[in-house]
Amino acid sequence: MSRRGVAIAIAVTAPLAAGVAYAVHGGPGPSTPAAAQVATGTAKVTRGTLSQTTQIPGELGYIGSYQADYQGTPGMLTASAAPGATIGRGGILFRVSDDPVRLLLGSVPAYRDFGYGMTDGPDVRQLERNLVVMGFDPDREMTVDRHFSVATARAIRRWERSWGRKSWQRTGRLTQGQVVFLPTPLRILTQPVRVGAAAGPGTTVLTGTSTSRAVTAQLSTADRGSVHVGDRVEVTLPDTDPIRGRVTEIGQVASTPPAENQDQPPDPDSATVPVTIALTLPRGMALSEAPATVDVVGRTRENVLLAPVAALLARPGGGYQVRLAGGVLTRVELGAFDEGSGRVEITSGLTEGQSVEVPAA
């Protein structure tokens, strides 16, 4: 169990501490004020299955951060996609001196011109794959490989025809400045260059994200060992039932929030690593960004004795105790905590069917 789980257990049951002071220390002296009365109820100790759950805060948003750079002949930016727009494969990102720059999907940036006679390379395979997906090799003449062939040039001419170019304007070639390769369709966030400003090689014209939504959560480094890539999770968003998700990435670099007092160093115990959770949102959900709570379901323990976390009281000298329905304080030993359901495994001190005091609902 993490230190954070212990802290939660103590915090939840703090209101009961005053109520059990008499039982622990004996009768109060004449000058001791009466302890505040806390309304209580009871809960049964049960036997069942406990899924050890780590609960972490998160944020629903879009995955990734990308930028569209211009690599063509210097000119003036004459048009640009607006923030909030989504540009897919083959779409126009922006125009420089009215020449459109289009988006293609791939991980290799456009680092040279494309044309018949160029040397083989992974950028050629990437281009040919895009041409096939966009439907410009209908007769399957082109082999998707590292070689720019006559069939590749024909596919480019078909793409040029779709732009509205006349037959004598179609070259079967692409210059480096005509295309931008990014791994994903681009959801535009910002326009670092205004329309009417100069744009040259290396100019970042647009920034954005992917169109895939995910939850990014901040996991305490103390809990890092309890969460793994592939773990199933439940994500709670505003006004929705829990949504199933899966951990797809865990960051390797920890960060700490800035200290409230700038003269003090950051607290290393507050360090966190980012966790990315993939999920499928319900159809019609309009949320694009929202706070989220993530329950990461870890190890499952079957046929164990279970009690509410809220029943736990800090014991003088260390450890925990619970108050039975008759008022007797009993020391207990704890196993795993489930932060999601608010239950804790009892390894000794109680038996199934006993009733323990908990704060009244």
Most confident residue range from 116-130, 290-304, 312-326: 116-130
Do residues 206 and 81 lie in contact, with contact meaning Cβ atoms separated by under 8 Å? Answer: yes
| 124 and 12 housed in the same domain | no
**10 Å Cβ neighbour count for 127?**
24
CATH number at residue 220: 2.40.30.170
pLDDT of residue 281: 85
Among the residue ranges 179-183, 284-288, 332-336, the one predicted with the least confidence is 284-288
pLDDT of residue 145: 97
- On whether residue 92 sits in a domain, the answer given is yes
- As a whole-number percent, the residues of the chain with pLDDT over 90 amount to 59
Q: Of 174, 209, 244, which marks where a domain is finished? A: 209
| 197 and 307 housed in the same domain | no
End-to-end CA distance of the chain: 27
| 46 and 85 housed in the same domain | no
pLDDT of residue 288: 76
More confident residue, 339 or 191: 191
Q: Of 278, 296, 314, which marks where a domain is finished? A: 296
Do residues 46 and 351 lie in contact, with contact meaning Cβ atoms separated by under 8 Å? Answer: no
What is the C-alpha to C-alpha distance for residues 69 and 73, in angstroms, rounded to an integer? 12
Residue 86 sits at φ, ψ, to 5 deg, of -120, 125
Write down the residue that tokens 């040919």 correspond to.
128
| 256 and 288 housed in the same domain | yes
- On whether residue 344 sits in a domain, the answer given is yes
Residue 302 scores a pLDDT above 70: yes
- On whether residue 61 sits in a domain, the answer given is no
Residue 71 scores a pLDDT above 80: yes
Of 39, 16, 1, residue with least CA distance to 329? 16
What is the C-alpha to C-alpha distance for residues 171 and 153, in angstroms, rounded to an integer? 8
Please give the tally of structural domains in the chain: 3
Q: Of 262, 277, 296, which marks where a domain is finished? A: 296
What is the C-alpha to C-alpha distance for residues 234 and 298, in angstroms, rounded to an integer? 12
| 151 and 203 housed in the same domain | yes
Residue 228 scores a pLDDT above 70: yes
Structural domain span for residue 322 = 3-55+298-359
**pLDDT classification of 19: cutoffs 50, 70, 90:** very low
Predicted TM-score (pTM) above 0.75: no
Residue 317 scores a pLDDT above 60: yes
